[in-house]
């Protein structure tokens, strides 16, 4: 079970012992279920409102979790990912940036810190 710590300068940090493995639950869904006030709007990877910064607690156990196509589009528009990073991801299949969209990032079996709001 991964530990997901939500961290914000506006709220007290909260660590959730999450159930991984469904490959369906997003960070936004986990946040909502645990009353973490991450901003969101469309819920569908189009507006960028749910921008978060994700840090892996154990850098040696980092698992691959590439960006979705919608994340790539929005992060490019927001200037949070470069063309070189997108090309790198195509080769390594590993996310090349700490920036994610909470409504698109699916929880994996890895301990992470989610920083919000990130604007």
Supply the minimum distance, in Å, between the C-beta of residue 49 and ligand FES.
Answer: 5
Supply the minimum distance, in Å, between the C-beta of residue 60 and ligand FES.
Answer: 30
Read off the tokens for 84. 């070189």
- Could you tell me the CA-to-CA distances from 82 to 36, 42, 49, 119 in Å, in that order? 29, 24, 19, 18
Q: What are phi and psi of 87, to 5 degrees?
A: -65, -40
The correct pick among 7, 8, 43, 98 for binding ligand FES (CB under 6 A) is 43
Contact 68, 91 (CB under 8 A): no
The correct pick among 4, 16, 30, 45 for binding ligand FES (CB under 6 A) is 45
H or E stretch covering 7: strand 3-7
The correct pick among 5, 7, 25, 42 for binding ligand FES (CB under 6 A) is 42
Residue 49 interacting with ligand FES (CB under 6 A): yes
C-beta of 46 vs 111, nearer to ligand FES: 46
């Amino acid at each position: 079970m991964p530990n997901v710590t939500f961290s914000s300068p506006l709220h007290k940090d909260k660590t959730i012992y999450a159930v991984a493995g469904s490959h369906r639950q997003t960070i936004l869904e986990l946040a909502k279920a645990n009353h973490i006030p991450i901003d969101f709007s469309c819920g569908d990877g189009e507006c960028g409102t749910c921008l978060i910064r994700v840090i892996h607690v154990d850098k040696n156990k980092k698992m691959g979790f590439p960006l979705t196509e919608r994340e790539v589009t929005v992060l490019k528009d927001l200037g949070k990912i470069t063309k070189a990073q997108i090309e790198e991801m195509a080769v390594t299949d590993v996310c090349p940036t700490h920036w994610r969209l909470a409504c698109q990032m699916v929880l994996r079996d890895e301990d992470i810190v989610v920083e919000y709001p990130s604007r």
